[in-house]
Amino acid sequence: MIDPATIWAALIAVAVLAYILLDGFDLGIGILYPLVKSEQDRDIMMNSVAPVWDGNETWLILGGGGLFAVFPLAYATILPALYAPLTAMLLALVFRGAAFEFRWRSKRHKHFWSAAFAGGSILAAFAQGVALGALVQGIEVANRSYAGGWFDWLTVFSVMTGCALVVGDALLGATWMVMKTEGHPRQQAVRLAWVFGALTLAAIGSVSLWTPLLNDAYLARWFDWPNLVLSGVMPLLVLGCAALLARGLQRGPDALPFLAANGLFVLCYIGIGISFYPYIVPHSVTIWNGAAPDSSLWFLLAGTAVLLPMILGYTAYVYWVFRGKVDPNEGYH
Amino acid sequence: MSGIVMSYQFGTNWSTFADKAGPIVGPLMGYEVLSAFFLEAGFLGIMLFGFNRVGPKLHLFATAMVAFGTLFSTFWILSVNSWMQTPAGFAINDAGQFVPDDWWAIVFTPSFPYRLVHMVLAAYLTTAFVVGGVGAWHLLKNSRDRGARIMFSMAMWMAIVVTRLQIVAGDLHGLNTLEHQPAKIAAMEGHYETESGAPLYLFGIPDDEAGELHYSIGIPNLGSFILTHDWDGAVKGLDAFPEDQRPPAAWVFWSFRIMVAFGLAMVGVGLWSLIQRRRRQLYDDTWLKRAAVAMAPSGFVAVLAGWVTTEVGRQPYTVYGLLTTADSASAVGAPAVATSLVAFILVYFTLFGAGTVYILRLMAKPPEAGESDRPEGPTRSAGLTPAASVAPDKVFPAE
């Protein structure tokens, strides 16, 4: 059971989850931009994530790079299958990253960079959701490479998961703002969090009901005994998080809505994990036959055992340094 | 940002390479992410925004961590590239994958030390000439400017010292390439035919079809001397290799000459500055300052040309001698690749264009005394660009 491939599958799953949660709220800030009219409020929003967004995105590199390193077969089949959505995501992230650099430098073009930040964030989140949906649908593999068509990723289901992630990231962004800002931006964030909280729950419900219908394996995974118990518990946990979110938005503390929104994400992620296991590419490549040779897995694991705790340590330190509410007079301007 | 793109492009556009070389290249890239990217990105926030929050010593530490991150990054990326150029320490399994046999040999391939030193020195030189060029620009307007004097003087010291080291490193790297990738050297030198006492061609127009260097101007026997340290040494030409194993000579020949020409010009500026420094006229020689301004982008050009030389010179292989570039690509349709390429070119040109404008505006402002102990906030803004030391509306009042 505890072989290096399993350890790595767990590590990469954690890296991807870390990415979804961490970059989720800073993408969410961009997604909310069009709904926030005042450039001053937008400045505060951007400054609340400015010190950490770069580190957050590094988890995406670890997800992709890690897959390349330890599951090269999965990497070599998933990425061509998701060529279009991943390319769109990369371009959107590059554009959005540049907006962080340039927005405060330019008065004349400030609106352009605000739009680039919003557009980049929305497109990146949507593309990630589409890619995830396409992966859940399954990918055709033959002779160690992708064997499907170039638009297999585009279905009603994947568009729905794309929208679901945009809505969910917006919730993360709004609850982050509730936690990190004061006064007008905070009030606005509370309103947005209510709206996107409701939308997120609707999205979770639709995707959860649809997924088991995609194929028999998912159906069996969720509705065979004893898994049925789990299928009953998960919705209850989701409702529990929703209740905490509502409570936090009504009475505080200000960190509670953000934690509850993260809880929703973690539950959805565990749900996907339950559907997938033990496949890394659903229904064609398992964790073990997609893995690199043991010597590659151990070589990287040795260093990871030393470096990952250090990374977690200094990442936590950076968040601690920038803890508390954002000072409107600090940051990029 | 380009790090994210790269870690996905191996899979989207080069998925066969990713599958086959993944067990070796993947972990090296993984180490880059773990030891370099996180370090850089994690501490960047503190470096840029943390001056008021962590105190000067910790801030210096964070800045040093960002610098170490970039250096580690160079180490791992060049390790990957060197393995692809001079593969070692591997076996090939039933699925046709390169699998690791000896990690020490994989990380430290024969060409790795030369490549690493050559590239790190090139990066320092690039920086030296940018800083020197900006300093010279401000000195041309006001030769009393103290900050500009410091910039110019330090950059010129760097130029003198590092160009010398770079010549030695480049020569050793060339000899190493001759040993491991003789076809690349033949293309760099424009040698189509194997011969003893080969000339050093300064100019010529390579013609792969005819297999000769038209209009060549060369110095007799010098080519053999440089490559073999013997005036009559035999030098392999492209004809020593089967036609399908030769790199396209024109690209390699010319990019190499561009790199060397810029390198020699850097040496020249360095020596010139040394002479004027001895004569105590470093800040007064208008032509030296003009030359330094003109040379400001030279590092970028030389680095790009050098990479073209080494990467095109490796063709037709991705893993030298073992896996061809044609066999490395994804089975993605040409229209899809073309579309994504055009999209990347458009986005990068827009962003680099905007970035260049902002950087040039910053450079147009003279350095200020005491800038570094300024209390207000970030001394530098994320990644690409050195930030203004004061509020942007004071820097760009025109807007």
Residues of B in contact with A300 (CB under 8 A): 26-27, 30-31
If pLDDT is split at 50, 70 and 90, which confidence band does B157 have? very high
| Residue with tokens 């050195």, as numbered in its chain | B386
| Residue with tokens 């960047």, as numbered in its chain | B44
Tell whether B353 lies on the interface with A, counting CB pairs under 8 A. no
Distance separating alpha carbons of residues A185 and A194, to the nearest angstrom: 15
- Coil, strand or helix at A226: coil
Tens digit of each residue's pLDDT (9 = 90 or more) over B217-255 = 888 888 888 887 888 888 888 888 888 888 888 888 889
Asked if A78's CB is within 8 angstroms of B45's CB, the reply is no
- Coil, strand or helix at A280: strand
Beta-bridged to residue A281, according to DSSP, are A285
DSSP letter assigned to residue A252: -
Asked if B7's CB is within 8 angstroms of A87's CB, the reply is no
Q: Are B305 and B259 in contact (CB under 8 A)?
A: yes
Q: What ipTM is given for this predicted complex?
A: 0.76
Residues of B in contact with A51 (CB under 8 A): 45-46, 48-50
Tens digit of each residue's pLDDT (9 = 90 or more) over A271-300 = 888 887 788 888 778 888 888 888 888 888
| B4 closest CB neighbour out of A52, A90, A101 | A90
Find the helix or strand (DSSP H, E) in which A141 lies: strand A141-142
pLDDT at B333 over 80: no
Q: Are B183 and B237 in contact (CB under 8 A)?
A: no
Q: Are A98 and B351 in contact (CB under 8 A)?
A: yes
pLDDT at B69 over 80: yes
Residue of A nearest to B107 (CA): A299
Give residue A329's pLDDT: 66
Asked if A57's CB is within 8 angstroms of B41's CB, the reply is yes
Interface of B with A in 273-302 (CB under 8 A): none
Tell whether B31 lies on the interface with A, counting CB pairs under 8 A. yes
Residue of A nearest to B2 (CA): A94
Asked if A91's CB is within 8 angstroms of B344's CB, the reply is yes
| A100 closest CB neighbour out of B7, B25, B382 | B382
Asked if B49's CB is within 8 angstroms of A331's CB, the reply is yes
Q: How high is the mean pLDDT of chain A? A: 85
Residue of B nearest to A315 (CA): B42
Tens digit of each residue's pLDDT (9 = 90 or more) over B339-377 = 888 888 888 888 888 888 888 887 887 776 544 443 343
DSSP letter assigned to residue B204: E
Mean pLDDT for the stretch of residues A74-82? 86
Q: How high is the mean pLDDT of chain B? A: 82
